[in-house]
């Protein structure tokens, strides 16, 4: 291939800016391999837009913008991939892994739904006490302070909440009293 003016222009721009662009990409990424890839992608973009570059134009600001956008795009892609992997991992944790576990999984899911239903049916104050105690781990004293009630009232509400939940869940699963 003969040395065209466009090719010569690009080679000159590459030779004058390659090292600066690489150092900038390295500074942004902290990874030599990623910096090299971004530098190459940056010059590919330059080649694709070489017709827009005017003779004598300082090209570094344009290359700077290319690098910045490439790093941002790469970070977004990495974030999305990490999020998808995390979601898939979480989904695998909740999925049964064998036939033996399927029954346990279904029972556990039904039990959780029943528990949530039982909690939602509690009177408001009793539900607040139960949620603060069991879901958020507050002590009876902390709950009393938070809701401006006495510790004895907290204990009373908690006992009644547990009793109501136990009755509803036991009735749903037809669990006989073994006393």
SS3 string, 3-59, reads: CCHHHHHHHHHHHHHHHHHHHHHHHHHCCHHHHHHHHHHHHHHHHHCHHHCCCCCCC
* Distance in angstroms (rounded) separating the CA atoms of residues 66 and 56: 19
Chain-centre distance of CA 92, in angstroms?
A: 16
The more confident residue out of 123 and 54 is 123
Mark which of 91, 114, 148 sits at the end of a domain.
91
* Distance in angstroms (rounded) separating the CA atoms of residues 36 and 8: 22
Please state the rounded mean pLDDT for residues 22-38: 91
Q: How far is CA 138 from CA 62, 112, 132, in A?
A: 56, 21, 6
Residue labelled with tokens 């029943």: 114
How many domains does one find in the chain?
2
Confidence class for position 92, pLDDT limits 50, 70, 90: low
Please state the rounded mean pLDDT for residues 62-86: 86
Claim to verify: residue 13 and residue 81 sit in the same structural domain: yes
pLDDT at site 98: 62
- The token pair at 133 is 């105690």
* Distance in angstroms (rounded) separating the CA atoms of residues 31 and 53: 29
Claim to verify: residue 32 and residue 77 sit in the same structural domain: yes
pTM to 2 decimals? Answer: 0.46
Q: Compute the C-alpha angle 35/23/50, nearest 5°.
A: 80
Residue 177 lies in a domain: no
* Distance in angstroms (rounded) separating the CA atoms of residues 74 and 67: 10
Please state the rounded mean pLDDT for residues 45-50: 90
Give me the domain span that covers residue 158.
99-172
pLDDT at site 1: 46
pLDDT at site 141: 92
Claim to verify: residue 26 and residue 84 sit in the same structural domain: yes
């Amino acid at each position: 291939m003969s040395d065209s003016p466009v090719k010569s222009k690009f080679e000159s721009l590459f030779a004058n800016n390659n090292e600066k662009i690489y150092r900038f990409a390295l500074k942004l990424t902290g990874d030599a391999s990623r910096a090299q890839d971004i530098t190459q992608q940056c010059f590919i973009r330059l080649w694709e837009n070489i017709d827009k570059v005017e003779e004598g134009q300082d090209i570094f600001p344009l290359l700077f913008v290319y690098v910045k956008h490439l790093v941002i795009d790469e970070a977004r892609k990495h974030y999305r991939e990490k999020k998808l992997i995390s979601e898939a991992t979480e989904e695998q944790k909740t999925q049964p892994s064998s036939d033996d576990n399927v029954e346990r999984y279904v029972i556990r899911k039904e039990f959780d739904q029943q528990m949530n239903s039982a909690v939602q049916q509690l009177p408001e104050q009793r539900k607040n006490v139960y949620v603060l105690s069991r879901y958020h781990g507050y002590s009876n004293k902390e709950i009393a302070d938070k809701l401006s009630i006495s510790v004895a009232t907290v204990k009373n509400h908690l006992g009644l909440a547990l009793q109501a939940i136990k009755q509803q869940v036991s009735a749903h699963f037809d669990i006989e009293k073994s006393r």
